């Protein structure tokens, strides 16, 4: 028993020493600028990220449903949250790929859907909401998940959902994918 206590105390001492060394190293370089980009808040809330710079023509569900009345296409839905690291990687590395974006724009209506959206959404003739949304937590912390996310069967972020022309789920693709991994999946379902 004494040996276990000695081992635990040794581990605690070792961890506290390494933490102190890390603090000391930081303190010794006070002139090194710490660069951190933070979106400025307006009325205490950060604005939603802009998708205007993306080569993919992102739409809302309402816009996609209106467009489908004129020209039916399959729908590609990116289900994301603001706090999800792999979701940001998809935006930065995958959705910014010009060849993938061109393919998506030609063959799908692309919809960005925040799984923690606080507003009601009309989709497929049904109204979906987020009744447990906590405004104090906001979008940048884990919050309640929207009912439409549950209807899509989303259990992890990011998830990309492919819908047919009747807005029925064809496939849900979980996790981060490179352009080279995602494009063949999109091609497969575009042909169906």
**pLDDT of res. 184:** 98
Give kind and range of the element (H or E) at residue 71.
none
pLDDT digits (tens, 9 = 90+) for 74-130: 999 999 999 999 999 999 999 999 999 999 999 999 999 999 999 999 999 999 999
Two structure tokens written together for 164: 């047919």
Two structure tokens written together for 153: 């069967």
Who has greater pLDDT, 135 or 64? 64
Q: Measured in whole angstroms, how far is the alpha carbon of residue 117 from the centre of its chain?
A: 12
Side-chain-facing half-sphere of 63: CA atoms under 13 Å: 11
Q: Is the pLDDT of residue 178 over 90?
A: yes
Name the pTM for this structure: 0.72
Cα separation of 60 and 95, whole Å?
A: 16
**pLDDT of res. 133:** 81
Who has greater pLDDT, 174 or 141? 174
The alpha carbon torsion through 36, 41, 46, 47 (nearest 10 deg) reads -110
- The superfamily in CATH containing domain 58-190 is Glutaredoxin (3.40.30.10)
Q: Is the pLDDT of residue 70 over 80?
A: yes
**pLDDT of res. 38:** 39
Q: Is the pLDDT of residue 43 over 60?
A: no
DSSP line for 44-89: TBPPPPP-TT-SS-EE-HHHHHHHHHHS--EEEEEEE-TT-HHHHH
Give kind and range of the element (H or E) at residue 143.
none
Query: Among residues 141, 150, 160, 151, which one has the least CA distance to residue 56?
Result: 160
**pLDDT of res. 143:** 81
**pLDDT of res. 139:** 76
């Amino acid at each position: 028993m004494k040996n276990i206590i000695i081992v635990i105390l040794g581990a605690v001492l070792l961890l506290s020493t390494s933490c102190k060394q890390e603090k000391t190293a930081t303190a010794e370089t006070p002139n090194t600028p710490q660069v951190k980009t933070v979106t400025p808040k307006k009325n205490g809330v950060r604005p939603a990220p802009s998708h205007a710079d993306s080569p993919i023509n992102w739409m809302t569900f309402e816009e996609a449903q209106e467009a489908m009345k004129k020209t039916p296409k399959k729908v590609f839905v990116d289900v994301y949250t603001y706090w999800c690291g792999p979701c940001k990687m998809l935006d930065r590395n995958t959705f910014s790929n010009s060849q993938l974006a061109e393919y998506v724009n030609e063959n799908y209506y692309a919809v960005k859907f925040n799984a923690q959206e606080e507003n009601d959404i009309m989709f497929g003739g049904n109204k979906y909401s987020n009744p447990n949304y906590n405004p104090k937590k906001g979008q940048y912390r884990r919050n309640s998940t929207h009912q439409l996310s549950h209807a899509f069967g989303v259990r992890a972020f990011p998830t990309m959902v492919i819908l047919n022309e009747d807005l029925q789920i064809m496939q849900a693709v979980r996790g981060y994918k490179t352009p080279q991994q995602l494009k063949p999946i999109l091609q497969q379902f575009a042909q169906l």
